[in-house]
Amino acid sequence: MSKDILKDALEDVLNESFNEMTGLDIPDYDFSDEFRDKMEKLTASSEKRSEKKRKGILWISVSALTAAAAAFCVWTGLRNTPQLSTKDNNSGIITSVEEPTEGTSVSIQTTSVCQADSKTTTIVSSEPVSAVTTYSHTQSIPQNGISSVSQSQAPITNHSVTVATTTGTHHRPTLNTTAANTSLPAQVVTTVTSYYDPELNEQLDEYERSLVMKKFLAVSAAAASMLSVSPTHSMAVYVAPKVSERFSAYFENIDSGLWNADVDGNGTFEAQDIYKIYRYILNNEKYASKEELAVKEAGDINKNGITNLEDVKILEKYYFYKYGFDPEDFNISLYKDNSDRVTIDSYNFIEEMKSVAESDDLLYQYAAEKIKNGDVDLDVNSDGNIDIMDAFDYYVYFCKNYYSGMDVLIDNIKDYDSVFKKSEDVFAAFDYDRNSDSTIVKYFIYNCDFSPEWLNVNIYYDHFHKYMKQSPNTSNYPLYSKYEFVTRSFSYLVKDAALEAGLATVRDDTSKIDLLVNPEFGPKFDVLFAQYDSDVMNGLITPPDINHDGSVNFKDRDVLVQYMYDVIDYKTAEDSTIDYNTWTYIDTQLDLNDNGVYGDLYDLWLPNHLIMKYGEDTLTEKLNEYNANQENQKKISKLGHIRYLEAKSDVKLQRSGDADGDSNVKMNDAVLVMQSISNPDRFQLDDWGEFNADLYNTGDGITPMDALEIQNQLLLK
Amino acid sequence: MEICLDNAEITESSPTFEEIYIKNRRLMMYTAMNILNNFADAEDCVSEAFLRFSKNFEKYSKLDWPKMTSLLVIIVRNAALDKYRKNQKICLSETPDEDVGAVSLDSYPIDSVISAIKDLKDEYRDVLMLRYVYGYNITEISALLKINSDNVYKRIQRARKVLAKNLEEGGGKI
């Protein structure tokens, strides 16, 4: 077929069809709030991406030029002379200035040829801040290899950062404090310096075999840096989220009487009004009682013809808007069913309400106020300082309470009694908050001097290790895995909070791929891989389902390779052939070696090698096991919270009798209870099963009377 | 009589995502409603279409308005057809390829080709539009229509074959 004719004809059809469309009689659709919400978010994120792309153009242009120049140098160097010439002091510097973040913020991003030196630091401060280079490279550095610090073109302001560079010497060099002193305005500045070490030639030759590796070298030379900067102090400014325009309009409707929030018509709007709608929705018309059915009409708060969770959400938000946040509202015994029982619905309702409060950050605001008022003592380790280690120590206690299987770790801790005692007080002060661990970390992030060290998992390992009776290692895997879990997951909490607060930013791309020229890369990779392999195979971390399609296979590998090419080619998520979400996941979340750099060579090669080693079936099986385990952990965490609340309030939630967790109560649940008693080696109830089955004399554990009670309930049904 | 596109001025520079959304949402909704006859499902398809569009927004926003609007309609129509099939639990039975022989379009007047294109199923017409009018490659079409690359390739082949068949049967040969 002739493509030209086909194209012409298609274009004619397209134009004709467009003209037809413009003449259509289209109704003015009343789009739902949910749809409008979704589109608002999409519009915002799309415009944010466009903005980001515009900002990146300068950086990409300069980087590309530098990379090209460096490529030429490296090629020449590799092919002709092992001794590369000394670089001009100012050559190879990449500087980009981005728009300031909110308030007065200075961000300095640096990269290094050695991953150990690589740091990304953002300083946010309303005060003048200063930063001094720290230097931790242990390799031999050529004397002439260091280039200088870049200086912003922007005018000097009163916010200044002092940067000192180092001159390389053998082993640990001394600081040359006069090398540079530059003042930076309140802007984001990326500084990259370059050097080339001829001693690395032998290692480089090894990597020169493929085109990919050549590209790596070229860009690496441009990206390599020996500069590292650390701030002396830095603090984020907390900005409370505002009520959206949509909800403001809703609140006005309620305040003006257009919409009625007093669902039960008793003259007052209270949390019970919301709970009534919630119960009506849960039970729906088929099972709702007469009383519950009565709220059907009144529960349609936004008058869209349906009484649904959107109405509940509107009222919940309005409730907090009107009355503020008060943990007393989360007392489960306030929310009873028609038989005056407190059930799991009561718990789920308060959790739902809490999630709304959480989305408006009210839990954090309340907690911060309480801490600032001195109602809570956060110095849980009683060392006289309130620092991030107090948050860590509290987290150990938090895990002890909420996660199963922690005994092996707790039994191995020494000298922690007073920590636990003080943590218990903190825990009790925030017991309404199932995520008090994150809340407290957030408090530290916003209210204490932030140090980039907080993002380094090793400080938590070191701190916690002091309290270990025996050193956790793989020979005692149960202990080791819990030790790993607590330290790692805490460092993730800190990272998340720091990113959210803008205290940490994600890297300069080129630093990700300079690793290959480091002679330590190979040996370090071997060590990391052994660890990664063991962690994945023992279920400690998730197998690499990079594209999140539910299986681990060669597609994941392909995606990683493509991402590597994209980085080399300065492509962004929008330009890549990889699915946008997958690209973004690698770029902003994949940090398998915990070095704070996402999607670097280690992060790309570790899963790659693992997939090569084990193949699809084994890893997919591991992934399924891991996901099931995670799901179980979540459930157990919820159960821990319920048990705690029960113990505290003496109110027992009505048990369902569902011993096997299949969401149905049948005779086999009674049978399973009896079997678990008579033959515990073969039949066991899981944590939730044990909770649900404890019907008779709730709280006394599983007895044959529980089986009888399940049968009684079935008969009475 | 209402005009489907809102009457906002069309600016010279690339429009923002919001502008595109406001101008096209009703037409897209109308397209999806015609297929699904269900408001909530149609809204899902419209938001899904905008999501796919947003993934390569920089590129698509450079299209002229007729092409951009048509592209959005193509995306939402395919999303709606997919949803319709899912709701009906219809599995697309892939008919075996028929060899219709090589047909040269050059031997037909353009009106016949246009008419044969109009007779094509929406899905076939859409995939040809994306390939030949918009010039998108298989990967890009695959991302827009959320079908895998093999299926895009097959669909284009089938569309061409059906088109050739329509032409042969419709006649009008010069």
Parse chain B into domains and list their residue ranges: 13-90, 98-174
pLDDT at A507: 47
Asked whether the predicted pLDDT for residue A68 surpasses 90, the reply is: no
d(C-alpha B149, C-alpha A67), whole Å: 34
Q: Is the minimum CB–CB distance between A23 and chain B shorter than 8 Å?
A: yes
CATH 1.10.1330.10 in chain A is located at 655-716
Nearest to B70 among A14, A23, A53 (CB): A14
User: Which residue, among B114, B157, B166, would best test binding to A if mutated, counting the most A CBs under 10 Å from its CB?
Assistant: B114
Q: Which residue has the tokens 């895009």?
A: B152
Q: B13-90: which CATH number, 1.10.287, 1.10.1740, 3.30.70, 3.30.1330?
A: 1.10.1740
Q: Which residues of B touch A18 (CB under 8 A)?
A: 66, 69-70
CB pairs under 8 A between A and B: 131
CB A78 within 8 A of CB A201: yes
Asked whether the predicted pLDDT for residue A391 surpasses 80, the reply is: yes
Asked whether the predicted pLDDT for residue A207 surpasses 80, the reply is: no
Q: Which residues of B touch A1 (CB under 8 A)?
A: 103-105, 160, 163-164
CB contact under 8 A, A21 and B128: no
- Cα radius of gyration rounded to whole Å, chain A: 30
A388-402 and A457-465 are packed helices; what angle lies between their axes, rounded to 10 degrees? 70
Look over chain A and give the mean of its residue pLDDT values, rounded to a whole number: 72
% residues pLDDT > 90 (chain A): 21
Identify which of A100-114, A452-466, B10-24 has the greatest average pLDDT: A452-466
Q: Is the minimum CB–CB distance between A549 and chain B shorter than 8 Å?
A: no
For residue A124, give the nearest of A233, A241, A229, A228 by alpha carbon. Answer: A233
The rounded Cα A74 to chain-centroid distance in angstroms is 39
Residue A22: what residue type? Answer: T
More confident residue, A447 or A228: A447
CB contact under 8 A, B27 and A24: yes
pLDDT at A216: 35
Asked whether the predicted pLDDT for residue A583 surpasses 70, the reply is: yes
d(C-alpha A33, C-alpha A303), whole Å: 12
CA-CA-CA-CA torsion sign (A258, A264, A268, A274): negative
d(C-alpha A416, C-alpha A408), whole Å: 15
For residue A17, give the nearest of B118, B13, B132 by alpha carbon. Answer: B118
Which range among A365-374, A459-468, B9-18 shows the weakest confidence by mean pLDDT? B9-18
- N-to-C CA span, chain B: 41
Nearest to A574 among B1, B56, B139 (CB): B56
According to DSSP, the β-strands at A188-192 and A120-124 are unpaired
Q: Is the minimum CB–CB distance between B100 and chain A shorter than 8 Å?
A: no
Q: Write the DSSP symbol of residue A509.
A: G
What CATH homologous superfamily does A655-716 map to?
Answer: Dockerin domain (1.10.1330.10)
d(C-alpha A54, C-alpha A44), whole Å: 15
Fold equal for B13-90 and B98-174: no
Minimum Cα–Cα distance from A19: chain B residue: B66
Asked whether the predicted pLDDT for residue A94 surpasses 70, the reply is: no
CB A658 within 8 A of CB A344: no
Q: Which residue has the tokens 């709220």?
A: A295
d(C-alpha A372, C-alpha A375), whole Å: 8
Query: B27 burial class (0-12, 13-18, 19+ CB within 10 angstroms)?
Result: buried
Nearest to B164 among A1, A3, A47 (CB): A1
How many other C-beta atoms can be found within 10 angstroms of the C-beta atom of residue A135?
A: 20
Identify which of A236-245, A643-652, B32-41 has the greatest average pLDDT: B32-41
Q: Is the minimum CB–CB distance between B114 and chain A shorter than 8 Å?
A: yes
pLDDT at A707: 93
Q: What is the CATH number of domain B98-174?
A: 1.10.10.10
The CA-based angle A252-A255-A261, given to 5 degrees, is 110
Asked whether the predicted pLDDT for residue A157 surpasses 80, the reply is: no
More confident residue, B98 or A693: A693
Rounded mean pLDDT, A218-244: 51
Q: Write the DSSP symbol of residue A245.
A: H
Asked whether the predicted pLDDT for residue B174 surpasses 70, the reply is: no
Which pair of tokens denotes residue A642? 């319920």
Return the SS3 of A339. Answer: coil
Where on the phi/psi map is residue A437: left (φ > 0), alpha (ψ -120 to 50), or beta? alpha
Q: Is the minimum CB–CB distance between A49 and chain B shorter than 8 Å?
A: yes
The pTM of the whole model exceeds 0.90: no
